[in-house]
Amino acid sequence: MKHEDHTDGFHIKRFSPFPLFLERMSAYWVAIWKCWRTVLDWAVWLYIFIPGLLIIGGMYRDLVRNPPQWLHEIPVALLLTILGLLQLTGKYRTFAEPGDGLFLHRNARWLRGLTAAGFIYGFITRIFLSSLIAAVLSPLLLEVFEFSGSFVIILVIYSAIYGFVWMLLRDRLMQKLRGWQLTIILLMIRPVFLSAFVWLAVIGDTQSAILVLASVFMLTIAFWQMMLRLRTKGTLLHEIAVENAAYVASVGWILSETMDKKPVPKLRRPMLFRQSQPLLKHRDDADRLLDSWFKSVLRRFDLLKPLLYLAGAGAAAMLLSPLPLAVIVWLVLPMLLLGMLQRQWLQWLSEPYIALFRWPDDILERASAKAKIWGAYPLVSLWGIIVGVKTGLIYGSVGWLAIVVIPVAGYYWLRFVNEVVTSFSALRRKKE
């Protein structure tokens, strides 16, 4: 059969899996960069990143030039563990899209091509990551730990292959297992994988041949895994889930307030309050609304995470500061905390389902005040107990009463600050 020439400039051979993969990959990274650019403006670069890089770079240079004694005492295994941990972070990516189910995934050539492109991408990212870490650590590795240059190169290749095998193995497990099963299996395999990585790398320091042999062995496993992956069918939904998770992990926190479609929970039932039991007694409608809010925060890690970070940072600040400064920090932090809770509360109220209903002003007012005060009180109490312990340690006997007095005073301080903040907000809204 004679093929007619294409006269419209459309050459079918130009369209193949690899160019498509490259196009999708670049589009993905451009999209990620554009998201990050919205928060990384010139002020952040000028005042945070560049000074930070200069300071940390200077400290690192001093560390390498004049290594303190403790640096020589750090076990090599610890350094290699960090390298190994980073190799356990990768996920096998194909940049699949939901529309692929209509055409591409029905065509074996395209499917194989995109899968193979994913292997190449995965291996290149592993090599890139290993090289980057080795390059950053090389002054330490070569000068302080006195590794040979050839060992560092072999270590980079070994790490990349190891990370690549882990990536494929993890992908296979994620296809086969779900929920708790997956979590437990991954929790069990990770330490084994990491220990083997570190053990072989430590031996490889003196016997490079071991590291080369281990690399060849892992490469064989990688080929076996790749063959299995190429033969596996029905992976599209899994690939899309991986892509969605990667996107959310990269920019989820930046876009959390603007994302129309939130990730669907992985479990059918919640882990907390499995029987939908109330957290608070439903005395009135404000309590019902408040109960829904508290349960949402406890079930949504993206809402809980910033509060936990603030709790940790606040606790560290109070532990490390002298007592008078710790008291000042304890008085100031609730303002920041209330502001954070206020933003979360307003964002929650604007969720489409919550905004579907008409909420009377008095209910909103009562629920809002309780949401902030009850939400902030556990953290303020924790910080108060830290300040109380410090007071007790310094002043002894009566000073230990501060452990009780400061958290109680914290409640009244919170109410006062909340009233001030609320009044200011109301005034600002009025002006607007």
Partner 1 sequence: MNSGSEILFRAVIEEAGYESGRPIVEEVTLSVQAGERVGLLGPNGAGKSTIMKGLLGQLPHWRGKIYWHGKEEENGGGVEMSSRIAYIPEQPILYERMTLWEHLVLVAAAGSIPEELFRERAEKLLRRFRLQKVKHEYPVRFSKGMQQKVMLIIGFLLKPELYLVDEPFIGLDPGAVLELLAALDEERSRGAAVLLTTHVLDSAERLCDRFVLVHDGGVAASGTLAEIRTAAGCGPEARLFDCFHKLTEYEEVQS
Asked if 51 is part of the footprint of partner 1 (rule: CB under 8 A), the reply reads no
Helix axis angle for 361-395 and 285-299, nearest 10°, is 60
Among 20, 285, 321, 366, binds partner 1 (CB under 8 A): 285
Whether residue 406 contacts residue 388, with contact meaning beta carbons closer than 8 Å, is answered with yes
- The residue range among 87-95, 188-196, 286-294, 383-391 that interacts with partner 1, by the rule CB under 8 A, is 286-294
Asked if 353 is part of the footprint of partner 1 (rule: CB under 8 A), the reply reads yes
Q: In the Cβ-directed half-sphere of 80, how many Cα atoms lie within 13 Å?
A: 25
Asked if 270 is part of the footprint of partner 1 (rule: CB under 8 A), the reply reads yes
Backbone dihedral angles phi then psi of residue 259, each to the nearest 5 degrees: -70, 125
Cα(204)–Cα(88) distance, integer angstroms: 20
Cα(206)–Cα(210) distance, integer angstroms: 9
- Shortest Cβ distance from residue 330 to partner 1 (Å)? 32
Backbone dihedral angles phi then psi of residue 339, each to the nearest 5 degrees: -60, -40
Cα(161)–Cα(216) distance, integer angstroms: 9
- Shortest Cβ distance from residue 270 to partner 1 (Å)? 6
Among 3, 231, 358, 430, binds partner 1 (CB under 8 A): 358
Whether residue 137 contacts residue 64, with contact meaning beta carbons closer than 8 Å, is answered with no
Among 10, 70, 103, 357, binds partner 1 (CB under 8 A): 357
Cα(245)–Cα(250) distance, integer angstroms: 9
- Shortest Cβ distance from residue 427 to partner 1 (Å)? 23
Among 91, 300, 366, 415, binds partner 1 (CB under 8 A): 300
Asked if 292 is part of the footprint of partner 1 (rule: CB under 8 A), the reply reads yes
Among 52, 57, 98, 263, binds partner 1 (CB under 8 A): 263
Asked if 268 is part of the footprint of partner 1 (rule: CB under 8 A), the reply reads yes
- Shortest Cβ distance from residue 410 to partner 1 (Å)? 29
Amino acid at 40: L
Q: Per-residue b/e over 171-207, b at no fewer than 16 CB within 10 Å?
A: beebbeeeeeebeeebeeeeeebbeebbebbeebbee
Instruction: Closer to partner 1 by CB, 34 or 262: give it.
Output: 262
Among 23, 351, 362, 365, binds partner 1 (CB under 8 A): 351
Cα(400)–Cα(385) distance, integer angstroms: 10
Among 12, 78, 356, 398, binds partner 1 (CB under 8 A): 356
Instruction: Closer to partner 1 by CB, 37 or 282: give it.
Output: 282
Instruction: Closer to partner 1 by CB, 285 or 315: give it.
Output: 285
The footprint of partner 1 (CB under 8 A) covers 262-265, 267-270, 273-276, 278, 282, 285-286, 288-289, 291-292, 295-296, 299-300, 351-354, 356-359, 363
